[in-house]
């Protein structure tokens, strides 16, 4: 039989990478706790109808879609928001608002595999339901900043915009909603020329396309000046003016909170998912031109799923990409390595005693590897040294009869005879 490999786009995470991924997950949980987001666990498989309702063509065309044995059209989740919105529209519909929910896990998209782009990847996801106020949007930006900070990431930048600026202009021109969605997807892929051409073909006025051409050029780190410039440019289009005013409010709150994040306002910024209605954002680091996280406001999704009208704002962080960015920046700061003891019986008759002692040490919280290969002592010690174990605890017949064992410090190459009763304290010190 030929050698089995992971399916294209899928990866095995070996211990070192798995440890970093889980450490990032832990940080994400810390952030959830600090901001009061309760964790929920939702299914990896959801109905295709739910997942495709407002995902946008791009995500829709990349879903792992199949029929289950009961003939239902289902898919592997490409994101968490649809599942959370389903819950808030049904089981959680009577929960008092605001509702802060957190989930973390793997998501699946049939993307073209390349660096930082996989078909199975991990997201930490936060949704704040029930508030339409700018402080809710600001909170999502701030918690994203907290996560990036906690992971030790440096030099990350927030790209922020507001979908209402473009939607306002297109709505005023009565551009069909389907065309609007395609325009947003083209903008998301930075195909601005194609977006404008499509608008021209769809009958948008010259004034509108001229404003859009100028908008896509309008971006910068001097955020309040860019906000003012957008305001001037869309003057007269009530919905767009309202959108840019709202964006200004959100950014002002973030800045008043004392949270010092690097922000670039980008007037021509759009995102692939169709459900956004307000502020949108992504996070980048200089060495990677793919986003580490993204989110925004979506006020109509829960209603669309049959729930009460519920304004909402959320974010998904790409944990694999955070890991990649950390590697590019010199690695994840690991917590101190746990001390490991290798417990070795010198003869088969002492295996039971070795297992008993190993268990006592584990109950005291130590990592203990029992010798299970029946190797010679020299081989065991050599292998333990290679794996950077801290101690070898050797159960020898003579010492054990006297209630003691030999403890070898593998780094210092020193050994001591310790009574079994005192070994826990000795190893811990």
The helix-helix angle for 206-217 and 163-172 (nearest 10°) equals 170
Measured distance CA(111)–CA(120) in Å, rounded: 9
Answer yes or no whether residue 123 interacts with ligand AMP by CB under 6 A.
Answer: yes
Measured distance CA(27)–CA(147) in Å, rounded: 7
Geometric angle at alpha carbon 62, from 57 and 65, rounded to 5°: 110
**And the tokens for 118?**
């996989």
Answer yes or no whether residue 292 interacts with ligand AMP by CB under 6 A.
Answer: yes
Pick the closer one to ligand AMP by CB: 108 or 400: 108
Residue with tokens 């039989």: 1
Polymer length in residues for the chain: 429
Answer yes or no whether residue 321 interacts with ligand AMP by CB under 6 A.
Answer: yes
Pick the closer one to ligand AMP by CB: 98 or 116: 116
Task: Please report how close the Cβ of residue 37 comes to ligand AMP at its closest, in angstroms.
Answer: 17
Measured distance CA(281)–CA(295) in Å, rounded: 6
Pick the closer one to ligand AMP by CB: 121 or 126: 121
Answer yes or no whether residue 79 interacts with ligand AMP by CB under 6 A.
Answer: yes
Q: Helix (H, G, I), strand (E, B), or coil: what is residue 11?
A: coil
Pick the closer one to ligand AMP by CB: 113 or 203: 113
Show the site string, 92-121: x = touches ligand AMP by CB under 6 A, - = not.
Answer: -----------------x-x----xxx--x
Choices 37-45, 126-134, 252-260, 318-326; region in contact with ligand AMP by CB under 6 A: 318-326
Choices 37-45, 95-103, 176-184, 290-298; region in contact with ligand AMP by CB under 6 A: 290-298
DSSP 334-358: PPPPPPEEEEEESSGGGHHHHHHHH
Task: Please report how close the Cβ of residue 320 comes to ligand AMP at its closest, in angstroms.
Answer: 5
# of chain residues touching ligand AMP (CB under 6 A): 17
Pairing of strands 391-395, 340-345: parallel
Closest CA to 83 of 61, 66, 108: 108
Choices 17-25, 253-261, 286-294, 397-405; region in contact with ligand AMP by CB under 6 A: 286-294
Among the residues of 202-311, which ranges form H helices? 206-217, 223-233, 238-256, 301-304
Task: Please report how close the Cβ of residue 168 comes to ligand AMP at its closest, in angstroms.
Answer: 22
Answer yes or no whether residue 316 interacts with ligand AMP by CB under 6 A.
Answer: yes
Task: Please report how close the Cβ of residue 290 comes to ligand AMP at its closest, in angstroms.
Answer: 7
**Residue numbers of the site for ligand AMP (CB under 6 A)?**
79, 109, 111, 116-118, 121, 123, 273, 291-294, 316, 318, 320-321
């Amino acid at each position: 039989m030929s050698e089995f490999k992971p399916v294209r786009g899928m990866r095995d995470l070996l211990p070192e990478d798995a440890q970093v991924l889980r450490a990032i997950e832990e940080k994400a949980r810390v952030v959830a706790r600090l901001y009061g987001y309760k964790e929920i666990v939702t299914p990896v498989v959801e109905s295709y109808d739910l997942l495709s309702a407002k995902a946008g063509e791009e995500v829709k065309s990349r879903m792992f879609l199949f029929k289950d044995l009961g003939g239902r059209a289902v898919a592997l989740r490409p994101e968490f928001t649809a599942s959370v919105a389903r819950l808030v529209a049904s089981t959680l519909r009577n929960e008092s608002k605001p509702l802060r929910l957190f989930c973390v896990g793997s998501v699946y998209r049939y993307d073209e595999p390349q660096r930082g782009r996989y078909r199975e990847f991990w997201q930490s996801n936060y949704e704040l339901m029930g508030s339409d106020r700018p402080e809710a949007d600001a909170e999502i930006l701030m918690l994203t900043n907290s996560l990036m900070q906690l992971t030790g990431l440096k030099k990350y930048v927030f790209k922020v915009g507001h979908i209402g600026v473009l939607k306002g202009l297109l709505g005023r021109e009565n551009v069909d909603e389907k065309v609007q969605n395609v325009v947003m997807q083209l903008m998301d892929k930075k195909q601005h020329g194609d977006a404008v051409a499509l608008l021209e073909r769809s009958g948008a006025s010259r004034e509108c396309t001229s404003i859009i051409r100028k908008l896509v050029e309008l971006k910068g780190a001097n955020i309040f000046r860019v906000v003012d410039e957008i305001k001037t440019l869309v003057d007269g289009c009530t919905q767009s003016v309202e959108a840019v005013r709202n964006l200004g409010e959100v950014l002002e709150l973030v800045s008043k909170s004392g949270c010092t994040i690097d922000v670039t306002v980008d007037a021509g910024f759009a995102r692939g998912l169709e459900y956004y209605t307000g502020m949108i954002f992504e996070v980048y680091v200089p060495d990677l031109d793919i986003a580490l996280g993204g989110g925004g406001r979506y006020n109509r999704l829960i209603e669309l799923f049959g729930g009460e009208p519920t304004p909402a704002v959320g974010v998904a962080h790409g944990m694999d990409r955070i890991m990649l960015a950390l590697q590019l920046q010199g690695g994840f700061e690991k917590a101190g390595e746990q001390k490991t003891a290798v417990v070795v019986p010198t003869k088969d008759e002492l295996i039971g005693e070795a297992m008993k002692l190993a268990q006592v040490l584990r109950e005291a919280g130590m990592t203990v590897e029992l010798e299970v290969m029946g190797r010679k002592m020299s081989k065991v010690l050599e292998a333990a040294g290679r794996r950077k174990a801290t101690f070898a605890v050797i159960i020898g017949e003579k010492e054990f009869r006297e209630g003691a064992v030999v403890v070898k410090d593998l780094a210092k190459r020193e050994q001591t005879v310790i009574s079994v009763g005192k070994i826990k304290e000795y190893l811990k010190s």
